[in-house]
Amino acid sequence: MDFCGPLPTGEYLMVIMDEYSRYPNVEIVKSVSANIVIPVLDKVLSTFGCCKVIKTDNGSPFNSHAFAKFAEHSGFKHRRITPHWPRANAQAEAFNKPLMKLVRTAHLEHKSWRQELYKYLRQYRATPHPSTGFTPYQLMFGRKPRTRLPQIDLNNPSTLDHQARVNDEQATSTQKRYADIRLNTRQNDIAVGDTVLVKHDTKSSKLSTPFDPQPYSVTARKGSMITASTNGHNITRNSSRFKGIPSDSNNSYRRDYIEEEKDYTPPNTPDITAETPPSVPPTIPAQSTDSHSQNPQIS
């Protein structure tokens, strides 16, 4: 579940995407306050039935006490994604992009964006999804939608769910491998009790460092979501926002928040740590009064 907008009329689109069938439901709301969102969500649940889990971001309506009471009363589990990591709610986030493009196009062509929205939803629900291989409408209601195109049903209803899940798992694995290669993903071994640095969400200036020099201690980890604390302040981010540092290094951790830091030794620089044999200091001679003496001897 996510919000899209604001629209030119000041309204918002409340997007609810079924993670299994990819069936989208879009509601038009006047604001994103909990008092407006809860009745609209209640209407959706009365139509499709109460779900097991609703996944949202950490917006203000979802952090309210009223929404927590509504989730408890309706019987679903409310799960909030990792802060500042919209990829955790990728299906709803990705669906917002074509919706805003649709609204802008309808506005430029002087068409009703509401009617264009309903037309888009009707076509999206009746189009086979590339991950599951079936239409969202068919997986949601167990039958193919009736369209203007002639159709022949060749699928066995008993194998529909199994085949859809197999197709979805294969597509998800392929997408993950591609994303890992493109993003150069590496295994993160940060565990509870480790000392870490946290990457800034936004850089305040060009002189600011990528990582906060204040060290944090990891207190909890659930999958890729890590919670760390320092001086009573807790922060929850994706594991890619953390960098582990040695816990016994009190003075050297400040070097670690400089991204891609490399040791640099100027050429022909003597090793100042090497021991030098003791020697008798040279005696500085008195200046010669002879103006023609250019190279005084050192005794």
Rounded to 10 degrees, the C-alpha dihedral 269/273/277/283 comes to 60
Contact assessment for residue 157 and residue 142, using Cβ atoms and an 8 Å cutoff: yes
The position carrying tokens 């589990």 is 77
Reading across the β-sheet that carries 242-245, which strands appear in turn? 233-238, 225-230, 216-222, 195-198, 242-245
Per domain, the residue ranges of the chain are 1-95, 195-255
What pLDDT is stored for residue 232 in this prediction?
A: 84
The continuous run of DSSP H or E covering 163 comes out as helix 157-182
Q: In terms of DSSP bridges, do strands 53-56 and 77-80 run parallel, antiparallel, or are they unpaired?
A: parallel
Mean of the per-residue pLDDT values of the chain: 79
What pLDDT is stored for residue 68 in this prediction?
A: 94
Tell which wins on pLDDT, 166 or 256.
166
What pLDDT is stored for residue 297 in this prediction?
A: 52
Tell which wins on pLDDT, 56 or 157.
56
How would residue 181 be classed by pLDDT, with cut points 50, 70 and 90? confident
Closest CA to 288 of 297, 277, 276: 297
How would residue 238 be classed by pLDDT, with cut points 50, 70 and 90? confident
Residues 266-294 have pLDDT tens digits of 445 444 444 445 555 555 555 544 444 44
Residues 125-146 have pLDDT tens digits of 999 998 888 999 999 998 888 8
Contact assessment for residue 211 and residue 198, using Cβ atoms and an 8 Å cutoff: yes
Question: In this model, does residue 122 exceed pLDDT 70?
Answer: yes
Angle between helices 113-125 and 90-108 (to 10 degrees): 140
Separation of alpha carbons 131 and 168, rounded Å: 5
What pLDDT is stored for residue 210 in this prediction?
A: 82
What pLDDT is stored for residue 88 in this prediction?
A: 73
Token reading at 283: 């005696």
Q: What are phi and psi of 44, to 5 degrees?
A: -65, -40
Q: Reply yes or no on domain 1-95 having CATH 3.30.420.10.
A: yes
The position carrying tokens 């909030």 is 80
